[in-house]
Amino acid sequence: MGHEYLYKINKPTKQVKDLAKRVLKMDEIMQKIINHVAEIYPSVEIPEIRWNSRMRTTSGRYFTKSNHIELNPHLLDTDEKLTRTLYHELAHAVEMQVFKYGGHGATWKAVMRRLGRKPERCHSYDTKGLKRKHRVVAKATCGCPERVYEIKTVRYRKIKKGAKYQCQRCFRTIQLIETKGVSK
The predicted structure's pLDDT at residue 136:
83
Neighbours of 174 (CB within 10 A): 19
pTM over 0.75: no
Q: Tell me the sheet residues that pair with 50.
A: 70
pLDDT along the chain (184 residues), means of 10: 53 77 91 98 96 88 96 91 96 96 94 96 80 80 87 88 90 85 52
Topology (CATH level 3) of domain 4-114: Zincin-like (3.30.2010)
The predicted structure's pLDDT at residue 38:
97
**Angstrom distance (rounded) from CA 144 to CA 152:** 20
**Angstrom distance (rounded) from CA 146 to CA 129:** 34
**Angstrom distance (rounded) from CA 178 to CA 167:** 17
Give the start-to-end residue ranges of the domains of the chain: 4-114, 136-179
The predicted structure's pLDDT at residue 119:
95
**Angstrom distance (rounded) from CA 152 to CA 135:** 5
The predicted structure's pLDDT at residue 22:
86
The predicted structure's pLDDT at residue 184:
47
Give tens-digit pLDDT for 39-80: 999 999 999 999 998 888 889 999 999 999 999 988 898 999
**Angstrom distance (rounded) from CA 92 to CA 122:** 14
